[in-house]
Copies of this chain bind each other. A is one copy, B any other.
């Protein structure tokens, strides 16, 4: 159950066996089935979720009932609504599973206790967040300066594993375009080849 997170973390920070065993006590394992919710808009996001196995997405729903995907998460990724997690305010996002998934959850109090008990975890979360910050900067930059076609090409290059697992309509939503626009872009790209 902890094999995936052990591999993920030890690729970034070195832990002793005792430290890792202690760390596992701060997490709560959770299985969710495809289409089940981890978070529903209106509820507070109480935990960060590490994906041991499966695929999830976070998204908002607008007044017209349209979904807008903010984030995907597959193995080794974390998913949450960070604002709600930090402020304890109700979330405006939903998080649900696109595949049957196995997660490790950690709430705010446990995360802080873990970082106190094993300061290397403070370091781990810092470097994880630095890397998230870098990815978010690139995505924002893409939105303000790249065409929809370039955003799609960047997505293919950056997340080749996701492309295999997520329906095209969801990728379109993540890119902020309609499924029809994405179909047109894919057709044009295949004609260019």
Contact of A173 among B92, B130, B132, B144 (CB under 8 A): B144
Shortest CB distance A89–B (Å)? 11
- A143: chain B residues at CB < 8 Å are 140, 143-144, 176
- Whether, in the assembled complex, A86 has its beta carbon less than 8 Å from a beta carbon of chain B, the answer is yes
Q: Is the CB of A86 within 8 A of B134?
A: yes
Contact of A130 among B60, B82, B136, B141 (CB under 8 A): B82
Q: Is the CB of B144 within 8 A of A68?
A: yes
- In Å, the complex CA distance between A60 and B176 comes to 20
- In Å, the complex CA distance between A190 and B86 comes to 35
- A129: chain B residues at CB < 8 Å are 126, 129-130, 132-133
- Whether, in the assembled complex, A69 has its beta carbon less than 8 Å from a beta carbon of chain B, the answer is yes
Q: Is the CB of A82 within 8 A of B140?
A: no
- A139: chain B residues at CB < 8 Å are 140
- In Å, the complex CA distance between A108 and B81 comes to 28
Contact of A60 among B71, B126, B141 (CB under 8 A): B141
- Whether, in the assembled complex, A125 has its beta carbon less than 8 Å from a beta carbon of chain B, the answer is yes
Q: Is the CB of A138 within 8 A of B60?
A: no
Chain A interfacial positions (CB closer than 8 Å to B): 60, 62, 66, 68-71, 81-83, 86, 92-93, 115, 119, 122-123, 125-126, 129-134, 136-141, 143-145, 173-176
Known interface pairs A68-B144, A93-B141, A143-B143; 8 further A-B residue pairs with C-beta atoms within 8 A, sorted by A's residue number: A68-B141, A82-B130, A82-B137, A86-B134, A126-B126, A133-B136, A140-B143, A144-B175
